[in-house]
């Protein structure tokens, strides 16, 4: 759990967003879903670059 908290702080996102892929108390709409997929892709890319840098 501590790792998730550290990642949420590192990427400045909520734990709900990090773990569930959505913001608190909000069901994503079609446009929001596309944005979420894009954001998750960017997060994955950042994590890969971070992993490669250590």
Residue by residue, pLDDT tens for the chain (54 residues) are 688 888 888 888 888 887 877 666 555 566 677 888 888 999 999 999 999 999
The pTM of the whole model exceeds 0.85: no
Residue 21 and residue 8 in contact, taking contact as beta carbons nearer than 8 Å:
no
Rounded to whole angstroms, what are the CA distances from 10 to 1, 23, 24, 46, 47? 14, 17, 18, 10, 10
Query: What is the reported pLDDT for 5?
Result: 86
Number of domains in the chain: 1
Q: How far is CA 31 from CA 4, 17, 20, in A?
A: 26, 16, 17
H helix intervals, 1-54? 2-11, 15-20, 30-53
The parent domain of residue 43 ranges over 2-53
């Amino acid at each position: 759990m501590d790792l998730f908290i550290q990642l949420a702080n590192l990427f400045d996102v909520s734990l709900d967003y990090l773990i569930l892929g959505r913001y608190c108390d909000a069901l994503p709409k079609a446009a929001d879903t596309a944005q979420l997929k894009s954001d998750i892709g960017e997060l994955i890319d950042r994590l890969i670059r971070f992993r490669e840098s250590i």
